[in-house]
């Protein structure tokens, strides 16, 4: 049975109260429009779908705290625009780092240096994962090593999918933080 919400204000109020059918109605009402806008910006359907999911996950997780000034669509569009621009910015930075890393790899006499620092990267990753609390470590192992889906992890660990997603966000945050510990290696080399 599909629940109908004739007005966005009523729909948004239900989403803020944690009403799942209202959340799905909001997704059904605006998902396609937002997806086509994202596709035009990122020019990759798979990445666009991931970004759309991120937009709606943000809405679901923070809906009760979010205040809308104008209208629901404008707010969703703003969240989508922010996340898409952030994605494009990170992609551009990542592409520059990849190009710099490729340039380093192709330079003569640096094979040993690169090998050593690649080992450093794996050591930093192992140390980061080892420092995780047991639940995070288990989610990491199931997601990365065993490549289980969020649903499968939730079932195996007897957690909600929402909790698993939160754990994955925390894992990403911690790994990004630890990745900063390696960034200086590349910067030191590029200064020389």
Domain residue spans of the chain: 8-87, 108-191
Share of the chain above pLDDT 70, in %: 66
User: pLDDT of 96-115, one tens digit each?
Assistant: 555 655 554 555 444 455 45
In CATH terms, 108-191 corresponds, of 2.40.40.20, 1.10.10.10, 3.30.365.10, 3.40.50.300, to 1.10.10.10
Looking at residue 101, what is its pLDDT? 54
Listed in sequence order, the residues at least 6 apart from 80 whose beta carbon sits closer than 8 Å to its beta carbon are: 34, 37, 38, 51, 52, 55
The CATH label, of 3.30.2230.10, 1.20.1250.20, 3.40.50.2300, 1.10.1740.10, for the domain at 8-87 is 1.10.1740.10
- At residue 171, the pLDDT reads 82
Q: State the pLDDT at residue 43.
A: 84
pLDDT bin (cut points 50, 70, 90) of residue 184 is: very low
83 and 55 Cβ atoms separated by less than 8 Å: yes
Give the pLDDT of residue 129.
80
Q: Encode pLDDT of 151-169 as tens digits.
A: 999 999 999 999 999 998 8
pLDDT digits (tens, 9 = 90+) for 31-44: 898 898 888 888 88
Q: What are phi and psi of 110, to 5 degrees?
A: -110, 0
């Amino acid at each position: 049975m599909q629940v109908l919400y004739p007005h966005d204000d009523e729909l948004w109020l239900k989403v803020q109260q944690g009403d799942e059918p209202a959340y799905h109605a909001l997704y059904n009402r605006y998902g396609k429009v937002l997806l086509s806008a994202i596709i035009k910006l990122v020019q990759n359907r798979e990445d666009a779908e991931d970004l759309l999911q991120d937009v709606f996950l943000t809405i679901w997780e923070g809906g009760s705290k979010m205040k809308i000034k104008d209208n629901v669509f404008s707010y969703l569009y703003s969240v989508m625009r922010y996340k898409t621009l952030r994605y494009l910015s990170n992609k551009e930075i990542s592409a520059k780092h990849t190009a710099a890393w490729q340039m380093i790899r192709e330079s003569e006499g640096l094979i040993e240096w690169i090998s050593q620092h690649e080992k450093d990267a794996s050591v930093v990753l192992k140390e980061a994962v080892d420092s995780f609390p047991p639940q995070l470590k288990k989610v990491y192992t199931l997601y990365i090593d065993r490549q289980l889906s969020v649903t499968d992890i939730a079932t195996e660990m007897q957690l909600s999918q929402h909790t698993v997603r939160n754990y994955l966000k925390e894992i990403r945050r911690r790994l990004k933080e630890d990745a900063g510990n390696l960034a200086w290696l590349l910067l030191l080399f590029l200064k020389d």
